[in-house]
Amino acid sequence: MTDHIVVLGAGYAGLGAAKRAARRLRSTGARVTLVNAADRFVERVRLHQLAAGQRLPGLPLAGLLGGTGVELVVAEVTGLDLQERTVQLDGPPYTLSYDVLVYALGSAADRDTVPGVREHACPIATEGDAVRLRARLAEPGPVTVVGGGLTGIEAAAELAETRQGLRVELVCAGPVGPGLSVRGHRHVHRALGRLGVVVREHAPVAKVGPDGVLLETGDEVPARTVVWAAGFRVSPLAAASGLRTDEEGRMVVDRSLRSVSHPEVFGIGDAAAPRTPGGRSRMSCQTGLPMGLYAGDAVADLVTGREPRRARFRYVWQNVSLGRRDGLTQFTRADDSPLDVVLTGRASAAFKETITRGTVWAMRHPGPWL
């Protein structure tokens, strides 16, 4: 019998897993099918650029998968039957059977924690989100970005630099860049100030309305557009199907990235919560792509009768864009805690651009890494 590996999701983790597994299993006759809701790869780390009106290169999945033997199915996953080992889809072939499943459906914006977000705010977690936000910004008026993490910082800086004269305010429940060192914080504040971004820290949002946000203090922050960058959440599909998940709905996996409840299922990317030196993995492409490569190897080991290898992760840095000509590279310990070592300015911006382009280059060119 020919083994059938089905990978759900073609983000950094899923695409890496599919290509690595296919390369490792090329001589075995095993089939690898990659399921994704769209026919192209989305560089999530560039979505703030897309929202600001910049053009991004197209990355069709068919081109990235050329010569790999991976079959691409463009459809949305609507259900999982873990007992029958089938995946339900909203388009042809509607049902896929698998021997091994790789679950890499990623994450989306958390729209339900704060009242009014779903009705009035514009997230920036998917390509569709970024396109809708770009259209919204065509109408003049102040912008409030909610969320002091890397996504919020990058969105505020990009919008302020690209659209000169636009009033941009960044509002966050805690400090801006909570994982940064003192030097990192200092540079981010300087850069945002230079771009004219008004920063309001330690100001939790109680509600989002059609004309701005209401803070828990009772203060109102008027805005024509509210950009929501205050957290991500995963699809409820894993938990609803019976996979063991944590309190955030992320799949609980062992050291080989296999589900602790269903060992024929691997969980990777934002949708899974493997252990790292700092606890659970952070949602980021910095962990997503390595997880995908580890999972591809582990799947190949399982199919060929070997003990799946253990995944090992460590963090090295966090890269933050501050427009096109400035940035911050925060170097970290293995557990993701910040060192008092940073790279800033044009050097950091160039470094991040090199890393981002290098990731796509690795996706295009199969080799020892894919």
Write out pLDDT tens, residues 241-258: 999 999 999 999 999 999
Predicted confidence at residue 164, as pLDDT, reads 84
Predicted confidence at residue 358, as pLDDT, reads 86
Tell me 123's DSSP state: E
Predicted confidence at residue 315, as pLDDT, reads 84
Instruction: List CB contacts of 176: < 8 A, sequence separation 6 or more.
Output: 148, 152, 153, 170, 185, 188, 189, 192, 199, 201
Buried b (16+ CB within 10 A) or exposed e, 79-89: ebeeeebbbeb
Predicted confidence at residue 8, as pLDDT, reads 98
Which parts of the chain register pLDDT below 70? 1, 277-283, 365-370
Share in percent of the chain as helix, strand, coil (round to 5): 30, 25, 45
CA–CA separation, 48 and 165 (whole Å): 18
Predicted confidence at residue 191, as pLDDT, reads 98
Amino acid in the structure at residue 85: R
CA atoms within 13 A on the CB side of 253: 32
Predicted confidence at residue 367, as pLDDT, reads 57
In 10 A of CB 77, how many CB atoms?
21
- 217-246 per-position pLDDT tens digit: 999 999 999 999 998 899 999 999 999 999
Domains of the chain: 4-106+235-313 (3.50.50.60), 112-230+317-354 (3.50.50.100)
